[in-house]
Structure 1
């Protein structure tokens, strides 16, 4: 990859990213729709199909996933974006690499480590029958008996209610909490028509919602993305929204419901890549045990109650060695610091 080629790199658009995540699905990234979120930046090369998605944080370009590209241009885009970061005086960190991406990056000298996992439910075999699910069934039933109504909502008709939930939901996370970005989805904007919204209301007042984004590839379906509620909403409002969505998806023949990425979870020695950093591996296990950066345990508990049947490992990558600084800037790009 020559400097001339890097200089000819072009800035893509969300529409370019949408085309790429629909067309180039070999990496099977269940969170790929996050590529089209407002606030992202895009890197493309003339004559090379595909796109790289990133955001700037501190001295880093934080890349989301591997290049969304076919095999013939994947490595060119990978190397060119690394060169682009260096030429702009920044370092590079990559988050949510899938196994396919991770192996290619490791083979080309990047340091690649586990960072967590994504979880999905096979809707062809999904059931809430049996004693295992009794508590979940009862929680949903109590929420519905409180007068709660769950609908698949037209976002534009409920935009004020969604905004009010967002405004009052954030303080539940703590006095200094900020809304996460980048590795979680959005509502509204030009891509909203591609999402689906299941909303709970009490006598016409919106009290909670779950937003779902499309998933492309062989595990196609929908991803349970944003889930928010009013502080005084009935217990079980999120579960009731998700159960209504599941019933709808099953009726439509949707094969998979994804629950997305949870950091620091399902870390296993057998899943590490050749050349991984032992220090970074220790850090990920420490963060899982101590829960000081992200409430991974509570997130995993919510996902586990739906009995996920597909677990996919997610990785981080660095072209110049794993670093705590790089990891901090990944969280900075997510508005978590």
Structure 2
């Protein structure tokens, strides 16, 4: 990075960039605010590159959050930064507008998955389509669930208990994911919304929502965790409560975030993409549940009848590489 700002000033730089430069419409852009991210800037360029280093790879989150006059200059400088240090580059969660620029600049670009969103103004759970979902939500409330919006600081200890039990339930060697999933706490928490479900006064689950900027502005259903073994429909009931709050405030979209290996379509691929990597994505959709539970994640999102599917992309500086792809998961703390 060209300077070494404090954490507070870094957060301010990123927040300005993701709120000002929304032309790519990345619904996950608020993840750029996560603690642990690194920033790259150049003098007189209006924007920032967000990334993490994993081994000899720099894993970039999204495209540069930059103005049109600075976008390619910033990306080129970041490429030179990596080359001077003999590091490999891979970028993940590019939007279509980003992907087209990267492909034109010689990167190998492939669809890696999709994100999903529901339009809120006309959203309703009425009708046979949502009967099963309504029944699960009703059951959770009948079992004593109460949902409220909470200040994360006020329920910090309860969130820690839920997080610990949730992770233990996933298996002995499972690690908490980072980078491409949200956080609670920290200086960015004041911009998020937190809805907590409790039974008999004890918090048993929560969903954190992050702001979404750009053409489909609204909120993103981000980090969600629950105590194992509680009432069916618990998370659906929490989300339905948040949906009604957002609708009452006039929010336009609820995004469900990025899910790898989903929404794959040959029509989404760009010239120069890797046929082998396309095959790998389809293979992981069919057989990759141990790597990432894409089918389970998509099933939850489809319950809500999404109106919008946005393809998301991965880009390799050079040929598509399984090693570089693995370093995306390494940056996410998956292994």
- Shorter-normalised TM range: over 0.9
Q: TM-score, normalised by structure 1?
A: 0.96
Task: Return the offset for 1:174.
Answer: 1.6
Task: Return the offset for 1:11.
Answer: 5.0
**Aligned-partner SS, 1:155:** coil
Q: Is 1:336 matched up with 2:334?
A: yes
1: CA distance, partners of 2:316 / 2:74: 15
Task: Return the offset for 1:14.
Answer: 2.2
Deviations along 1:224-243, whole A, 9 cap, x unmatched?
00110001321111001000
- Write out aligned runs for 1:147-158 (5 A): 147-158=144-155
The counterpart of 2:2, out of the listed 1, 9, 18, is 9
Structure 1 runs (4+) greater than 6 angstroms displaced:
none
2: CA distance, partners of 1:142 / 1:90: 52
Task: Return the offset for 1:86.
Answer: 1.2
Match of 1:168 in 2: 165
- Write out aligned runs for 1:129-148 (5 A): 129-148=126-145
Q: Is 1:109 matched up with 2:106?
A: yes
The counterpart of 1:31, out of the listed 21, 28, 39, is 28
Question: Which residues of structure 1 form unaligned runs of 5+?
Answer: 1-7
Q: For this pair of structures, how many residues does the alignment match?
A: 330
- Report if aligned partners of 1:11, 1:44 keep a CA contact under 8 Å in 2: no
The counterpart of 2:314, out of the listed 310, 313, 316, is 316
Match of 2:271 in 1: 274
Distance 1:335 1:267, change over 3 A: same
Q: Is 1:255 matched up with 2:252?
A: yes
**Aligned-partner SS, 2:25:** coil
Task: Return the offset for 1:10.
Answer: 3.7
2: CA distance, partners of 1:82 / 1:320: 11
2: CA distance, partners of 1:152 / 1:134: 26
- Report if aligned partners of 1:10, 1:46 keep a CA contact under 8 Å in 2: no
How much is the aligned-residue C-alpha RMSD, in angstroms? 1.0
Match of 1:305 in 2: 303
2: CA distance, partners of 1:243 / 1:202: 17
- Write out aligned runs for 1:118-129 (5 A): 118-129=115-126
1: CA distance, partners of 2:100 / 2:230: 45
Deviations along 1:147-176, whole A, 9 cap, x unmatched?
110001111111111111001110222221
Q: TM-score, normalised by structure 2?
A: 0.97
Distance 1:309 1:286, change over 3 A: same
